[in-house]
Structure 1
């Protein structure tokens, strides 16, 4: 989950799939500090808290959009914003999962500045089946 439309579609599909088969959803947003992107001096602790808070806000909004507001959600869902490269975070989160659902490209608020494709990396390295949403 990165706030992009494909990742939002992946979350909605995951929720519907969990509703059908009685499963649960772990919504994961991976974020990196700007030093990871540009090689600048490390951000302050306060800046890191701001990045983490913004990542959680993006994730919370996506979850609300997928499930609707408030209690009485249709499926059990746990949301976690994790600092790290998206592909590595998702592969680790997929350990023990029934499947991993990802968007086909990350063009949301948390862009990657690394070569390659997160969805392709997940398809090649995940320990479970991978669904890639467009």
Structure 2
């Protein structure tokens, strides 16, 4: 199920972004939104889910198992809430769709890559072993996607933070060698 958040006339590259609700996934979304704005692209934010990982639907009551569509809507509600601030601050002028896929995230993104021009993911998500450089979903996607994949690693820094870091690393006048 997909839902369009903003409509624009953009006909540029179709960019798929994986999002599991983690902080690294939000950094990947920031990168994707900035890139989409620069190239006139559109974004589809994808979240894979299973019945065991999906939030409880509003229709859930004791003894009643809601239909699959209710679970999917609950996943979409969580996805929209997780990315709302990022889309609001970085997504101006970018068409954004949301997609919930019943199945593993890797499968969801691989299927979405067949219709995409670019897939953007973080190097790691919520699951797995913290010591690994790439999470299993990202590793699977890099190896098997039908289009180019961008792996966003770590937090983005603002230009001010980047300048402060560079200034702090530069030698002071007293430390500079004399000529």
Q: TM-score range by the shorter chain?
A: 0.7 to 0.9
The correspondence for 1:2, drawn from 9, 20, 26, is: 20
The correspondence for 1:119, drawn from 117, 123, 138, is: 138
Q: CA RMSD in A?
A: 2.6
The alignment partner of 2:99 has SS state of strand
Matched residue, 1:132: 151
Structure of greater Rg? 2
Matched residue, 1:56: 76
Distance 1:96 1:49 in 2: 23
Unmatched runs of 5 consecutive residues or more in structure 2:
1-18, 54-63, 129-134, 154-179
Q: For the Cα contact (< 8 Å) 1:32–1:85, is it kept in 2?
A: yes
The correspondence for 1:82, drawn from 94, 98, 101, is: 101
Distance 2:40 2:106 in 1: 27
Q: What is the CA-CA distance between 1:63 and the residue it aligns to?
A: 3.3
Distance 1:104 1:47 in 2: 33
Q: For the Cα contact (< 8 Å) 1:103–1:133, is it kept in 2?
A: yes
Q: What is the CA-CA distance between 1:4 and the residue it aligns to?
A: 0.6
Distance 1:65 1:123 in 2: 28
TM-score by length of 2: 0.59
Q: What is the CA-CA distance between 1:14 and the residue it aligns to?
A: 0.8
The alignment partner of 2:120 has SS state of strand
Q: For the Cα contact (< 8 Å) 1:67–1:74, is it kept in 2?
A: no
Q: For the Cα contact (< 8 Å) 1:2–1:58, is it kept in 2?
A: no
Matched residue, 2:124: 105
Distance 2:28 2:81 in 1: 14
Distance 1:26 1:92 in 2: 13
Q: Indicate the structure with greater helix content.
A: 1
Matched residue, 1:41: none
Q: What is the CA-CA distance between 1:48 and the residue it aligns to?
A: 4.8
The correspondence for 2:43, drawn from 1, 13, 25, is: 25
Matched, 1:91 2:110: yes
The alignment partner of 2:83 has SS state of helix
* Consecutive aligned runs of 4 or more in structure 1 exceeding 3 Å deviation: 47-51
